[in-house]
C-alpha cells in the first residue's frame, strides 16, 4: 500500500499479539502500548533531517549531528491517543503536544470535536498525529483537517492498528499524510470496529468496560 509503513519489527509484533489477547489486563495493555509507542516513534522519526553543530568532546572539537529545525509536535487524538504519548515522549522528550478531543458518534460514526489546543507555530513544525486505531478513518481525517486549518503542513500519522478502509479514507482526503502502523487488519465490522483488532482501545487502556 502506498504511503503506509508497517513496522514489522519482531518486538512490535510480539507486543501487539499480547495486546490483542482479551485476557491481557488493563495494566498490561497500558504498559505494552507505551512500549510499542516508543518503537513506532523510532520508525516515524527515521528520516528527520539533521544538521551539524560544533561541540567539544573531552579530546577535541568536532562537527556533530543534531536534529534540524523546530521541535516536533505530537498530536494525540483523545482519549486513546494519550496511551501512546508517554512512550513517544520517552524518545523525544522535548516534543510539543497538541491535544485534539474528538469522539466517534456511535450511530453515524462521524467525528465530533470537543477540544483543541495546539502550539501556535504549527506551520513551522512537523506534526505527528497519534491514535491507536485507524478504523473508519473519519476521526483521523477530521484531526488532520483541523491541524491543517491551524497551519500544519507537514503531517504524519502513527497508529497501532489500521483497517484498509481507514487508510483509504485518510488518503482520499489527505494523500500527503504518510501512515505508520504495526499492522493492517482485515476489515471493519458493522459497528466500525477493526477485525480481528483488539477491541475498544480506550476502554482497554483505561478499564472503562
Task: Give the binding site for ligand URA (CB under 6 A).
Answer: 80, 133, 135, 192-194, 197, 200-202
Residue 152 vs 162, nearer CB to ligand URA: 162
Residue 59 CA to residue 178 CA, distance in Å, equals 42
CB of 204 to ligand URA, least distance (A): 8
Interior angle at CA 82, CA 74 and CA 190, nearest 5? 110
Q: Cis peptide before 90, with omega less than 30 degrees from 0?
A: no
Residue 196 CA to residue 194 CA, distance in Å, equals 6
CB of 131 to ligand URA, least distance (A): 8
Residue 96 CA to residue 82 CA, distance in Å, equals 13
Residue 21 vs 176, nearer CB to ligand URA: 21
CB of 194 to ligand URA, least distance (A): 4
Q: Which helix (H) or strand (E) holds 102?
A: strand 99-104
Residue 75 vs 122, nearer CB to ligand URA: 75
Residue 103 vs 150, nearer CB to ligand URA: 103
CB of 95 to ligand URA, least distance (A): 24
CB of 59 to ligand URA, least distance (A): 52
Residue 154 vs 165, nearer CB to ligand URA: 165
Residue 111 CA to residue 135 CA, distance in Å, equals 12
Residue 34 CA to residue 55 CA, distance in Å, equals 33
Residue 179 CA to residue 128 CA, distance in Å, equals 10
Amino acid at each position: 500500500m502506498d504511503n503506509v509503513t508497517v513496522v514489522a519489527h519482531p518486538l512490535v509484533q510480539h507486543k501487539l499479539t499480547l495486546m490483542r489477547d482479551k485476557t491481557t489486563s488493563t495494566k498490561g495493555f497500558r504498559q505494552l502500548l507505551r512500549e510499542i509507542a516508543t518503537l513506532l516513534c523510532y520508525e516515524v522519526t527515521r528520516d528527520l533531517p539533521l544538521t551539524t553543530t560544533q561541540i567539544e568532546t573531552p579530546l577535541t572539537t568536532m562537527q556533530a549531528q543534531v536534529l534540524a529545525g523546530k521541535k516536533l509536535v505530537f498530536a494525540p487524538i483523545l482519549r486513546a491517543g494519550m496511551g501512546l504519548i508517554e512512550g513517544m515522549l520517552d524518545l523525544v522528550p522535548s516534543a510539543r503536544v497538541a491535544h485534539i478531543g474528538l469522539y466517534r458518534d456511535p450511530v453515524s460514526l462521524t467525528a465530533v470535536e470537543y477540544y483543541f489546543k495546539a502550539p501556535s507555530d504549527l506551520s513551522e513544525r512537523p506534526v505527528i498525529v497519534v491514535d491507536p486505531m485507524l478504523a473508519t478513518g473519519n476521526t483521523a481525517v477530521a484531526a488532520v483537517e483541523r491541524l491543517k486549518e491551524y497551519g500544519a503542513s507537514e503531517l504524519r500519522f502513527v497508529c497501532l492498528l489500521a483497517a484498509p478502509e481507514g487508510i483509504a479514507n485518510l488518503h482520499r482526503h489527505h494523500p500527503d499524510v504518510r501512515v505508520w502502523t504495526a499492522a493492517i487488519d482485515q476489515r471493519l465490522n458493522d459497528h466500525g470496529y477493526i477485525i480481528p483488532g483488539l477491541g475498544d482501545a480506550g476502554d482497554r487502556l483505561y478499564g472503562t468496560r
